Chains A and B, each alone.
Chain A
Amino acid sequence: MTPTRKRRLIAVLLILAGVGVASTIAFYSLQENLLYFQSPSELAQQPIPPGRQFRLGGLVKPGSVERQGQSLTTHFVVTDGPEEVTVEYVGTLPDLFREGQGVIARGALDDSGRFAATEVLAKHDENYMPPEVADALEESGHLMTEGKGGG
């Protein structure tokens, strides 16, 4: 390698190292803010005061969905295993909203500790399979219990 090329190589590597260090620092300082949602456990550890907007993510607890008669009001429980939060939502839910599936709700806690959601999104997991396979898995009890929608 000629001296000129060596000099260029060193210059380019130095620039890359500088950018690498700068972005690592930025990355660590931004880490908290880049969380798109909080899980019920994170919420239990670091409570968010009522009225402050945030996103709550987790699985819809099976058997917890209650629709109120003719109105669009729905109640359900979001859980990540150890902790759970009750959510109240008025509006239409996405097609993939199911018990046992992941959801992300935006809103704020009210004074009674219930989460009043203004928007509910379904979080899809990374599993893709045909219905027959899903049925077979469900029969053998492997589906749903494995869902890791919270993370």
Chain B
Amino acid sequence: MNVETAKTNKPRKNAFVMFIHKMGSPPWFYNFTGKFIPWFWAIFIVLTVWGLYLGLVKAPADYLQGESFRILYIHVPAAWMSLLIYISMAIMAFIALVWRIRIVEILAMTSAPIGAAFTIVTLAAGSLWGRPTWGTYWVWDARLTSELVLLFIYLGIIGLYNAIDEPRKAARAACLLALVGAVNLPIIHYSVKWWNTLHQGSSISLMGGSSIDTSMLWPLLIMAVATKFYYGANLLTRARVKLLEQDIRKAWVREVLKEKNG
């Protein structure tokens, strides 16, 4: 609301800047995202069922690993998400630290548990794949160790955020930790290039060819898109709940609750 009044003395802002300003207002954010969440969940479920069907039933078995290679359809999308969510969280943490926008703080902080969950899935699925393929559940090579460190960083951020009572101060401290922890990202990504690791190199790269057969690639790409919608849906759901929690005494929340309870 105060955006509207402050605007009168200043030159007109373009539609995009206006949209960003509007998204910074809790009631607007709450109502706007509420419209998308069901769609995100629906797209996630449809894509996941389709991707898993193609991956687990339709795709041919690998020439060497046989059926166990199908764990890749869980492991690889989860591993991508564990990094991508961290990137997204670090960017939001940066914005939150410099511009102190409360909704961005909340979005950065609610990203952490989702990222941690994907990291756990990555480690667990990778470990189950490692046993038949490599002959061991776990080795301390650079890739596996740096991914485990990523989990600890996520847990550290969640812990720090919850250890401080005042939510805005807590978010600022944890955002700083999230930014510092970002040094781990290039280490995870390039670990298989920089060092000799038991973990193989990337099968898929944005530039140049992929060393995975096309018939096996499609289900993987579908799963990769599905997990992004999961992140979107889960993140916005969590952020809305957090907003309601923090603004429990504000008028807009009372209105929302009144509407809900009829």
Contacts and interface: CB of A to CB of B under 8 A. Distances in A.
Contacts of A125: 200-201, 211
Interface centre among A37, A95, A120 (most CB of B within 10 A): A95
Given A36-B196, A126-B200, A131 B94 contact: no
Contacts of A8: 97-98, 100
A48 B215 CA distance: 45
B221 to A, nearest CB: 14
Given A36-B195, A36-B196, A96 B97 contact: no
B135 A127 contact: no
B18 interface: no
Contacts of B109: none
A120 to B, nearest CB: 7
Contacts of A19: 180, 183
Interface stretch (A9-17, A60-68, A70-78, A108-116): A9-17
A9 B142 contact: no
Contact of B134 (A27, A96, A132): A96
Nearest to A97: B135
Nearest to B201: A126
Nearest to A120: B135
B170 to A, nearest CB: 17
Contact of B64 (A31, A98, A120, A121): A98
Nearest to B180: A19
Interface residues of A, number: 45
A121 B134 contact: yes
Contacts of B183: 19-20, 23
B80 interface: no
Interface in A132-151: 132-135, 150-151
Give the interface size bracket for B toward A: 35 or more
A123 B200 contact: yes
B173 interface: no
Interface string A79-96: 000000000000001111
B163 interface: no
A104 interface: yes
Interface string B153-185: 000000000000000000000001001100100
A125 B98 CA distance: 44
A5 B96 CA distance: 11
A39 B195 CA distance: 12
B134 A122 contact: yes
B197 interface: yes
Interface stretch (B6-14, B55-63, B233-241, B244-252): B55-63
Interface centre among B63, B142, B215 (most CB of A within 10 A): B63
A13 to B, nearest CB: 9
B54 to A, nearest CB: 14
A130 B60 contact: yes
A124 to B, nearest CB: 5
A13 B122 CA distance: 31
Contacts of A131: 60-63
Contacts of A122: 133-135
A131 B63 CA distance: 4
Contact of B133 (A96, A104, A133, A134): A96
Interface in B42-83: 60-65, 69, 72
11 contacts: A15-B176, A34-B195, A37-B198, A93-B135, A94-B132, A95-B135, A122-B135, A123-B198, A130-B63, A130-B213, A131-B62
Interface of B: 60-65, 69, 72, 94, 97-100, 132-136, 139-142, 176, 179-180, 183, 187, 194-198, 200-203, 211-213, 215-216
Q: Which 4 A-B pairs have the closest CB atoms?
A: A94-B135, A130-B60, A134-B63, A36-B141
